[in-house]
Amino acid sequence: MNTQELIKIEDDYFLNTFTRQPLVLDHGEGVKVSDIEGNEYLDMFAGIAVNALGHNHPKLVKAIQDQAEKLIHISSIYYNEPALEYAKKLVDMTSFDRIFYSNSGAEANEGAIKLAVKYTGKSEVISTVESFHGRTVMTLAATGHEHYHEPFKSILPKGFINVPYNDIEAIKDAITDNTAAIIVEPIQGEGGVNVPDMDYLKQIEEICHEKDIVFIVDEVQTGFGRCGTLFAHELFGVKPDIMTMAKGIGGGVPMGGILATEKVAGAFVPGDHGTTFGGGPLVCAAANAVLDEIVNENLLDNVNEVGDHFIAELKKLDKDVIKEVRGKGLMVGVELTEPGAEYVDKLREAGFLINCTAGNVLRFVPPLIITKADIDEFVKALDELL
């Protein structure tokens, strides 16, 4: 079947929940992907910051193949070695003490909020406008986009307060005696690649410590080297109580998780939370391969070097349509003075996959293995288009 015939299957059989790009992708290698018609694209989107090692990475593929030949799923009733190995490895690399595996970022955020509420015995959570924490009913309430709330207002849980991002006074004003947690993205992704002031997270941390409020950082999009450190909150010198993660953790295999300090983690006892698929041997084998590659191949150095080059080259584009270039590492946004959807389409036609978020922000989150030569190829095409 050709592209249009395959797309018609979705039109006829799928729930109408996505507006997709008109491509049927078939295979990839490194930072390139190809569709079923044989057209090749430079992937500047990496499956929404998921494909940290690009496509068809030999070590990731081998880890998945080897594990699939042994065990794929055993449930949470039994131990499995890849999950135990990964837990020790990741906890030893961070300021956290305990881990919980989930299947997605939304589930991780849901679990983190439950843990904060259980720990404090309180029921209000402060999040920020333009944030994105998931599409479950509870994480939707935490997500600071009113247009996502509107169809489901009748069932959204109470107790979620959205305040402006990067506004510490708004957080102070929102705190009550019933505040259980503050959840914030170190850098907002869906909101438009918004980078806060350097002292913003530190001030939140200080407030949380002072008032015994749980400080949650949502690193679903910013984690695993995306912003130049293993996790983006490290850029701001803070130590949260809970961190959520997903996307890049498995290099394309669906996985998420929660990391927490011993103090907060102790609030959960058996039966408070659970999962059937979380932390299975297959996904944890993939996660081990991704983390090992990030560390052993010094990919953080590449993220910083190539990311700095990318931002510098974008800032050289002296175009009236560009309002601002911002970001950290390989999480970069170009805010335009007009809607960005047309640019996504035209760049796709030219052989580049990107995304537009917040209406007018071109978002680039390529694989962490991307090179300066790849960046130069893309910036040249963007320059010509603009």
Q: Cα(102)–Cα(286) distance, rounded to whole angstroms?
A: 14
Q: For residue 8, what are its two tokens? A: 């018609």
* Residues 116 and 222 grouped into a single domain: yes
Residue 28 vs residues 191, 244, 346, 351: alpha-carbon distances, Å: 29, 29, 21, 14
* Residues 190 and 290 grouped into a single domain: yes
Q: Is residue 355 part of a domain?
A: yes
Residue 256 vs residues 142, 277, 333: alpha-carbon distances, Å: 18, 11, 24
* Residues 279 and 311 grouped into a single domain: no
Q: Cα(109)–Cα(16) distance, rounded to whole angstroms?
A: 25
* Residues 289 and 314 grouped into a single domain: no
* Residues 7 and 129 grouped into a single domain: no
CA dihedral over 96, 101, 104, 108, signed as positive or negative: negative
| Domain count of the fold of the chain | 2
Give the helix/strand (H/E) hosting 294.
Answer: helix 281-296
Q: Cα(57)–Cα(28) distance, rounded to whole angstroms?
A: 9
Closest CA to 257 of 49, 132, 103, 96: 103
* Residues 342 and 321 grouped into a single domain: yes
What CATH number did the domain enclosing 31 receive?
3.90.1150.10
Q: Is residue 235 part of a domain?
A: yes
* Residues 80 and 196 grouped into a single domain: yes
Confidence (pLDDT) at 153: 94
Cα-trace Rg, the chain: 21
**Which residue positions in the chain have pLDDT lower than 50?**
none
Confidence (pLDDT) at 204: 98
* Residues 87 and 48 grouped into a single domain: no
Q: Cα(262)–Cα(310) distance, rounded to whole angstroms?
A: 39
Confidence (pLDDT) at 187: 98
Q: Which of 296, 318, 340 is the last residue of a domain?
A: 296
Closest CA to 248 of 51, 89, 9: 51
Q: Cα(140)–Cα(144) distance, rounded to whole angstroms?
A: 8
Write down how long the chain is. 386
Q: Is residue 102 part of a domain?
A: yes
Which range of residues forms the domain containing residue 121?
A: 71-296
279 and 107 Cβ atoms separated by less than 8 Å? no
What CATH number did the domain enclosing 174 receive?
3.40.640.10
Q: Is residue 27 part of a domain?
A: yes
pLDDT digits (tens, 9 = 90+) for 84-111: 999 999 999 999 999 999 999 999 999 9
Q: Which of 235, 263, 296 is the last residue of a domain?
A: 296
Q: Cα(184)–Cα(238) distance, rounded to whole angstroms?
A: 13
337 conformational bin, left if phi > 0, alpha if psi -120 to 50, beta if neither: alpha
Cβ neighbours of residue 2 closer than 8 Å, sequence gap 6 or more: 36, 37
Confidence (pLDDT) at 169: 98
Q: Is residue 63 part of a domain?
A: no
* Residues 276 and 326 grouped into a single domain: no
Share of the chain above pLDDT 90, in %: 100
Q: Cα(352)–Cα(373) distance, rounded to whole angstroms?
A: 14
Q: Is residue 163 part of a domain?
A: yes
Q: Which of 234, 266, 296 is the last residue of a domain?
A: 296
226 and 248 Cβ atoms separated by less than 8 Å? yes
Q: Is residue 188 part of a domain?
A: yes
Q: What is the DSSP letter of 89?
A: H
* Residues 270 and 122 grouped into a single domain: yes
Q: Cα(367)–Cα(310) distance, rounded to whole angstroms?
A: 13
Closest CA to 160 of 145, 223, 350: 145
- Distance between start and end Cα atoms, the chain: 35
* Residues 265 and 241 grouped into a single domain: yes
Q: Cα(217)–Cα(113) distance, rounded to whole angstroms?
A: 11
Q: What is the DSSP letter of 329?
A: T
Q: Is residue 65 part of a domain?
A: no
Closest CA to 292 of 100, 80, 60, 73: 60
* Residues 10 and 132 grouped into a single domain: no
